[in-house]
């Protein structure tokens, strides 16, 4: 079956790639989302749930940035240099997936007090919520494109073994 590099990555080395590249970052983002709803609803500025949210935000932001660096250097650059992409659907799947670091890294940096230091608690929560929402959107777009058969748009002539 023809598949995008995104799906191929998740399917290879089962179950480890699925856990490392999908389960950990997405479960952390979902835990952030759920805790975020409670924090916003209760206007919690501190406490156990806020601490949990902060730790998960830092972890997920740094973890996904590591994934970005690793996959960009070991997959994106080599695939681009060799012309190994399976068409636009493949590029979109991988591109949307990797763009998640644009949303998660600022969450970690904000929680570490590196950026947005002069913002109020409410302003930070709004930024946090928007960044988290952005990550969930691009992650789901990546999943959708990742599951599409790339040969629908490309003849995949660069894949002689398929």
- Omega cis (within 30) before 15: yes
Q: If 0-12 CB within 10 Å is exposed, 13-18 middle and 19+ buried, where does residue 58 land?
A: middle
Read off the pLDDT of residues 103-136 as tens digits, 9 standing for 90 and up: 999 999 999 999 999 999 899 999 999 999 999 9
Residue 119 lies inside a defined structural domain of this protein = yes
With the CA atoms of 98, 99, 100 and 103 taken in that order, what torsion angle do they form, in degrees rounded to the nearest 10?
150
Read off the pLDDT of residues 130-159 as tens digits, 9 standing for 90 and up: 999 999 999 999 999 999 998 887 665 554
Read off the pLDDT of residues 9-29 as tens digits, 9 standing for 90 and up: 999 999 999 999 999 999 999
User: Residue 160's pLDDT is what?
Assistant: 44
Residue 144 lies inside a defined structural domain of this protein = yes
Cβ neighbors of 122 (< 8 A, separation 6 or more) are none
Residue 159 lies inside a defined structural domain of this protein = no
Residue 64 lies inside a defined structural domain of this protein = yes
Residue 147 lies inside a defined structural domain of this protein = yes
Residue 157 lies inside a defined structural domain of this protein = no
Cβ neighbors of 154 (< 8 A, separation 6 or more) are 86, 87, 88, 89, 90
Q: Quickly count: other Cβ atoms within 10 Å of residue 138's Cβ.
A: 20
Gap between the Cα atoms of 162 and 159, Å rounded: 6
- Count of the separate structural domains present in the chain: 1
Query: Which range has the worst mean pLDDT, 30-39, 70-79, 150-159?
Result: 150-159
DSSP 78-127: HHHHHT---SHHHHHHHHHHHTTHHHHHHHHHHHTTSS-TTS-HHHHHHH
Residue 162 lies inside a defined structural domain of this protein = no
Residue 106 lies inside a defined structural domain of this protein = yes
User: Residue 152's pLDDT is what?
Assistant: 85
Would you say 51 and 37 are in contact if contact means Cβ atoms under 8 Å apart?
no
What whole-number percentage of the chain has pLDDT above 70?
94
What range does the domain containing 9 cover?
5-152
Is residue 65 scored above 60 in pLDDT?
yes
């Amino acid at each position: 079956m023809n598949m995008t590099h995104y799906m191929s990555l998740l399917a290879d080395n089962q179950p480890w790639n699925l856990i490392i590249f999908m389960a950990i970052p997405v479960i952390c983002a979902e835990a952030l989302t759920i805790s975020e709803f409670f924090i916003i609803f209760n206007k919690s500025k501190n406490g156990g749930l806020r601490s949990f949210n902060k730790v998960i935000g830092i972890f997920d932001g740094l973890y996904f940035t590591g994934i970005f660096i690793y996959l960009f250097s070991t997959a994106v650059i080599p695939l681009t240099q060799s012309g190994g992409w399976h068409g636009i659907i493949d590029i979109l799947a991988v591109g949307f997936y990797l763009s998640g670091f644009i949303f998660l890294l600022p969450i970690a940096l904000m929680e570490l007090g590196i950026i947005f230091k002069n913002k109020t608690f409410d302003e930070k929560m709004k930024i946090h919520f928007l960044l988290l929402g952005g990550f969930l959107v691009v992650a789901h777009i990546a999943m959708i494109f990742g599951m599409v058969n790339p040969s629908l748009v490309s003849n995949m002539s660069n894949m002689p073994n398929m």
